[in-house]
């Protein structure tokens, strides 16, 4: 079942969404119109399991405005829903906008559960009775913030589901004689790919182009995306979870509470991602904030890919991409060889190549090297360039092993870890990167003193 939460702005839809999802996914703030994109999650209410959909609030805006585009963007979600949770604010009472939107929902002919939110205590319960006037049945008085009334909401949802099941069964019976297509399902966990970057570099447009549909709200306004929105997608037989995020500005410029929440949501999405596609404006490449974002991606240990967007505006493509790749290697040495893929989110040029690069990068990021191969390489590396002596005493590196992958993390057992220069550590990391074909991903090397008490003896 798909359950869409509908209602005007600021009635508590996102709070209810988070309550049903069982965790804080959507940003909640008193500012009207915080939610701008469709967000889906696995929902659960006691014994009921379903897909819950959060949507932008209806504000009755004039055609051509951002608010009107936001509502028009919700239309596919309204069509896909099996059941509506129509939310009103019990404390504010029924407004003309509630009545207009109730008519929109009613015309779709699907089961509706009328929810009177913010109905804490006896006063709220009395105020919720006003919602009867909408003609959507008995209102269920709840407090999404405090979790009150959830049992009553569960019962109302179960009753609505029962009206949907017979209609579905009838449709299945009509299609019973039609041959089924055999679809090979990939049941493995999807690769999480976060699209990050400065505001207005085309992240949402690029995600829409990859998906082949207008899933994310786009427009000329900077900062349209506020929540981190994830959508599942399959490319070349492999499952991905694409996460569109809010633009990241310099910390000193982030002043409003809502923007701080959006920034925090983006950083959380990045920490849980496997690949981070850093979208860079090809007409204004590698600005200070671009480099700060790339540095954050590498420090978090994610697998980075640079999407050089707005490629359709570049006048000298060959010279521009050569300069971009040289600049990436020079400016981001901690991920030397990072892949730079020219794309145009508007035309779709380069998008298949971008997804191929994402696939290749996550494979490198997940690399495991056997201890035998690693130590044969280490022996050669030490012979070619021995560690320098520090304070007149030799530094011996005796053994190396890979502790984990994602990102590749190595431990070298060294007689005097604190005395080994950073330059020699970089020599080892670069050697691992070159020998084992690991360009463009973060590599971590930890130095540890062996347990043998005689290991430090010359």
In the chain, where are the structural domains located?
2-174, 191-365, 371-448
pLDDT of residue 222: 47
Strand residue runs (E) in 322-396 = 340-342
The structure tokens 């309204």 sit at: 78
Q: Which two tokens stand for residue 321?
A: 């991409």
Task: Report the C-alpha gap between 124 and 340 in whole angstroms.
Answer: 56
Task: Report the C-alpha gap between 279 and 157 in whole angstroms.
Answer: 41
Torsion angles phi and psi, residue 185, rounded to 5? -90, 135
Task: Report the C-alpha gap between 387 and 132 in whole angstroms.
Answer: 80
Pairing of strands 112-117, 83-89: parallel
Cα torsion 442, 351, 329, 373: sign: positive
pLDDT of residue 369: 94
| Cβ count near 5 (within 10 Å) | 30
Smallest Cα–Cα separation from 455: which of 414, 419, 427, 417? 414
Instruction: Provide the 8-state DSSP code for 393.
Output: B
- The CATH number assigned to the domain with range 371-448 reads 3.30.300.20
Is the peptide bond preceding residue 98 cis, with omega within 30 degrees of 0? no
The structure tokens 């919700």 sit at: 74
265 CB-near residues (< 8 Å, 6+ apart): 27, 226, 227, 228, 245, 246
The structure tokens 């290749």 sit at: 360
Sheet of strand 140-141: strand arrangement? 39-45, 48-54, 2-6, 83-89, 112-117, 140-141
The pTM of this model reads: 0.64
Smallest Cα–Cα separation from 342: which of 359, 363, 328? 328
Task: Report the C-alpha gap between 140 and 116 in whole angstroms.
Answer: 6
Q: Which two tokens stand for residue 95?
A: 């407004």
CATH number for domain 2-174, candidates 3.40.50.2300, 3.30.450.20, 3.90.660.10, 3.40.50.300: 3.40.50.300
335 CB-near residues (< 8 Å, 6+ apart): 294, 298, 304, 440, 441, 442
Is the peptide bond preceding residue 267 cis, with omega within 30 degrees of 0? no
pLDDT of residue 434: 95
pLDDT of residue 99: 85
C-alpha gyration radius of the chain: 27
Maximal C-alpha separation, the chain = 89
Smallest Cα–Cα separation from 131: which of 95, 156, 94? 94
- The CATH number assigned to the domain with range 191-365 reads 3.40.50.300
Per-residue pLDDT of the chain (458 residues; tens, 9 = 90+): 889 888 888 888 888 998 998 877 654 444 444 454 677 888 999 899 999 888 776 655 455 554 445 555 566 667 788 999 999 888 888 888 888 888 878 888 889 999 998 888 665 666 667 777 788 888 888 888 888 889 999 999 999 998 876 555 455 544 444 444 333 334 468 999 999 988 888 888 898 889 887 665 544 444 445 556 778 889 989 999 898 887 776 654 444 554 555 566 678 878 888 999 999 999 999 999 999 999 999 999 999 999 999 999 999 999 999 999 999 989 999 999 999 999 999 899 999 999 999 999 999 999 999 999 999 999 999 999 999 887 778 889 989 999 999 999 999 999 888 899 999 999 999 999 999 999 999 999 999 987 655 545 44
The structure tokens 């405005």 sit at: 65
Q: Are 288 and 248 in contact (CB under 8 A)?
A: no
3 CB-near residues (< 8 Å, 6+ apart): 20, 43, 50, 51, 52, 53, 81, 82, 83, 84, 85, 157
| Cβ count near 201 (within 10 Å) | 27
Q: Which two tokens stand for residue 99?
A: 């009545």
Smallest Cα–Cα separation from 329: which of 366, 301, 304, 357? 304
Instruction: Provide the 8-state DSSP code for 30.
Output: S
With vertex at residue 89, the alpha carbon angle to CA 87 and CA 94, rounded to the nearest 5 degrees, is 95
2-174 and 371-448, same CATH topology: no
């Amino acid at each position: 079942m798909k359950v869409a939460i509908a209602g005007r702005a600021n009635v508590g839809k996102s709070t209810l969404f988070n309550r049903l999802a069982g965790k804080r996914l959507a940003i909640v703030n008193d500012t009207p119109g915080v939610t701008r994109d469709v967000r889906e999650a696995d929902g659960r209410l006691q014994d009921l399991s379903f897909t819950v959909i959060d949507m932008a609030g209806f504000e009755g805006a004039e055609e051509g405005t951002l608010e009107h585009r936001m509502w028009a963007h919700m239309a596919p979600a309204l069509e896909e829903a099996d059941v509506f949770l129509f939310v009103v604010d019990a404390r504010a009472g029924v407004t003309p906008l509630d009545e207009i939107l109730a008519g929109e929902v009613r015309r779709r002919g699907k089961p509706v559960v009328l929810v009177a939110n913010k109905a804490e205590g006896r006063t709220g319960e009395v105020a919720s009775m006003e919602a009867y006037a909408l003609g959507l049945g008995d209102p269920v008085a709840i407090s999404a913030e405090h979790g009150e009334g959830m049992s009553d909401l569960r019962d109302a949802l179960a009753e609505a589901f029962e009206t949907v099941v017979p209609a579905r069964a009838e449709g299945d019976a009509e299609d019973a004689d039609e041959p089924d297509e055999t679809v090979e399902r990939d049941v493995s966990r999807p690769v999480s790919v976060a699209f990050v970057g400065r505001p207005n570099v085309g992240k949402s447009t690029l995600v829409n182009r990859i998906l082949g549909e207008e899933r994310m709200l786009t427009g000329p306004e900077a900062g349209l995306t506020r929540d981190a929105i994830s959508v599942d997608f399959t490319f070349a037989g492999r499952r991905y979870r694409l996460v569109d995020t809010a633009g990241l500005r310099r910390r000193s410029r982030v002043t409003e509470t809502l923007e701080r929440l959006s920034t925090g949501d983006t950083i959380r999405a990045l920490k849980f991602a496997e690949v981070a596609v850093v979208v860079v404006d090809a007409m204004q490449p590698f600005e200070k904030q671009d480099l700060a974002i790339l540095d954050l991606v590498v420090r978090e240990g994610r697998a980075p890919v640079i999407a050089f967007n707005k490629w359709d505006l570049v006048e000298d493509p060959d010279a521009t991409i050569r300069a971009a790749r040289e600049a990436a290697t020079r400016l981001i040495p901690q991920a030397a060889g990072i892949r730079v893929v020219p794309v145009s989110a508007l035309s779709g040029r380069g998008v298949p190549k971008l997804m191929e690069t994402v696939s290749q990068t996550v494979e490198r990021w997940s690399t495991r090297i056997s201890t035998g191969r690693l130590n044969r390489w280490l022996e050669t590396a030490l012979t070619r360039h021995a560690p320098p002596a520090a304070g007149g005493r030799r530094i011996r590196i005796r053994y190396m092993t890979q502790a984990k992958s994602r990102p590749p993390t190595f431990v070298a057992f060294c007689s005097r870890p604190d005395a080994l220069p950073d330059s020699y550590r970089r020599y080892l990391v670069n050697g691992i990167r070159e020998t084992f074909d690991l360009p463009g991903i973060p590599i971590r090397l930890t130095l540890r003193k062996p347990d043998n008490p005689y290991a430090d003896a010359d």
